Amino acid sequence: MKIGIVCYPTYGGSGVLATELGMALADKGHEVHFITYNHPVRLDYLSHHLHFHRVDIEEYPLFQYQPYELALSSKMVEVVRKHNLEVLHVHYAIPHAYAAYMAKEMLKEKGIFIKVVTTLHGTDITLVGSHPTYKTAVEFSINHSDVVTAVSNNLRQTTLDRFNITRDIQVVYNFIDIKRYKEAEAEECQRITLAEPDEIILTHVSNFRAVKRVQDVIRTFYGVQKEVPSKLLLIGEGPDRIKAENLTKKLKISDKVFFLGNSTEVRKILCYSDVFLLPSQTESFGLAALEAMAGKTAIISTNTGGLPEVNVHGKTGFLSDVGDVDDMVANTLKILKNKETLEQFKRQAYEHAKSFSLDNIVPVYEEIYSNCLQIEV
Ligand code: GMT
């Protein structure tokens, strides 16, 4: 099949998932075209099966805001026509689903009938999408896609609760390529460079937005390091990073906390990790937690959104109420009670991660594409 993938090319979960999906589809022989404003960060190679088309934006003095949707939908039309694409798979509703609808209508005028699959990822529904500024357009573009998927049961239900949806939404969980985690583990895991042999390593990966509650990560670590020798690694960049750094200074734990910035080496860093902290306010799925589980890491997370569908309480880690730092500390210490308990949680996390393996999920998307090609125009 010839598939166009539209996503945010950044470190956010939806862009990561879309990129991994595109690469997996190309590996299976499909022709995949990424259409986005920058080279996706996780796209490590291009081939005759894998292409990238940049959406250029023209600056014009009249525009206070550049009309990205216009540029994107025009680019979609151009790429669909030039490469005879059959399906456009757009990740994150805003503004991708809306731009895809416009592209579809423009193509229809030229006698080309492209199919549009929209995948809802989370904040496009829970935070930004349901805001009155965008709600009407988001609802319209969900209802006018050929197929709509959501990354968890919780996100599907939230979408149905918040919008007037007149169609089905299929749940397709996010996935990981478990083989690549095994490779990262097989390469030498340089744990010793970061911590003493008797020290526990806790990790957090995010884009440091308010929704991630990074200060709860720091506070949880503060409680843990009082009881157990440990280090905290934080990967990512974003608006709350400075606040988090200031909190580590205030709590006098700066020497145990490392801010590593954005990284494309997340898999390698996760191989050091014992416990992953994800105390988010809301999380439709928690791909970062799944990636940590694939790297054999136990999870301490909140019980919000789709997180309970990924992190199984008492098995892969523990769930706490949003903001209940004391409970997160107590749960982390339960996991760190002794070496055997920690190893058991890490093993169970890895085993559970396997059920979200690429080999199980990518065929679901392939089936969705081939089914939607059968939908009458
Ligand atoms: O919140 C992020 O880290 C980025 C955001 C995105 O769309 O780029 O993530 C959302 O999509 C991910 C992939 O499906 C999910 O794993 C995240 O849970 C979701 N984030 C939220 O719901 C806050």
3-state secondary structure of 141: helix
Ligand 1 atom nearest to 288, measured from its CA: 16
CA of residue 79 to ligand 1 center, whole Å: 27
- Residues 186, 273, single domain; the answer is yes
**Dist. CA 115–CA 323, nearest whole Å:** 42
Using DSSP, state whether 185 is helix, strand or coil: helix
Question: 126 near 152, Cβ under 8 Å?
Answer: no
Q: What angle do CA 196, 197, 203 make, to 5 degrees?
A: 70
Distance CA 146, CA 142 (A): 9
Whether 129 and 272 share a structural domain: no
Strand partners, 31: 2
Task: Answer yes or no: do 220 and 120 share one domain.
Answer: no
Q: Which residue has 């991994």 as its token pair?
A: 20
Tokens of 62: 């009249």
> What pLDDT sits at residue 195?
82
Q: Are residues 56 and 96 in the same domain?
A: yes
- Distance from C-alpha of 275 to C-alpha of 342, rounded to nearest angstrom: 9
Residues with CB under 6 A from ligand 1: 8, 12-15, 17, 92, 121-123, 126, 151, 174, 206-207, 211, 282-287
Could you tell me the residue range of the domain that residue 155 belongs to? 2-175+357-373
Q: What is the pTM assigned to this prediction? A: 0.94
332 in the same domain as 229 = yes
- Do 276 and 320 sit in the same domain of this protein? yes
Q: Whose CA is nearest to atom 9 of ligand 1?
A: 13
138 CB neighbour count, 10 Å cutoff: 26
Give bridge partners of residue 231 from the DSSP assignment: 201
Are the beta carbons of 6 and 88 closer than 8 angstroms? yes
Q: Is 324 exposed, middle or buried (0-12, 13-18, 19+ CB in 10 A)?
A: middle
Claim to verify: residue 194 and residue 96 sit in the same structural domain: no
| Closest to 284 measured CA to CA, from 211, 350, 352, 207 | 211
Regarding whether 201 and 67 lie in a shared domain, the answer is: no
Cα→Cα distances 375→87, 101, 113, 264, 297, Å: 12, 16, 11, 39, 42
CATH of the domain at 241: 3.40.50.2000
Residue 39 near residue 52, CB atoms below 8 Å? yes
- Same domain assignment for residues 307 and 171: no
> Ligand 1: which of 10, 89, 96, 121 to mutate, judged by most atoms within 8 Å of the beta carbon?
121
Atom of ligand 1 nearest to the CA of 305: 22
pLDDT at 187: 65
| Same domain (yes/no): 106, 184 | no
pLDDT for res 185? 67
Ligand 1 atom closest to the CA of 17, numbered from 1:
13
Atom in ligand 1 nearest the alpha carbon of residue 122: 22
Q: Whose CA is nearest to atom 19 of ligand 1?
A: 122
Domain count, the chain: 2
- Which amino acid appears at position 12 of this protein? G
Please tell me whether residues 53 and 196 are part of one structural domain. Answer: no
Residue with tokens 């026509």: 81
Q: Are residues 352 and 364 in the same domain?
A: no
Residues of the chain with pLDDT under 70: 183-189
Q: Which atom of ligand 1 lies nearest, measured to the CA of 15? A: 8
Query: How many whole angstroms separate alpha carbon 216 and alpha carbon 78?
Result: 46
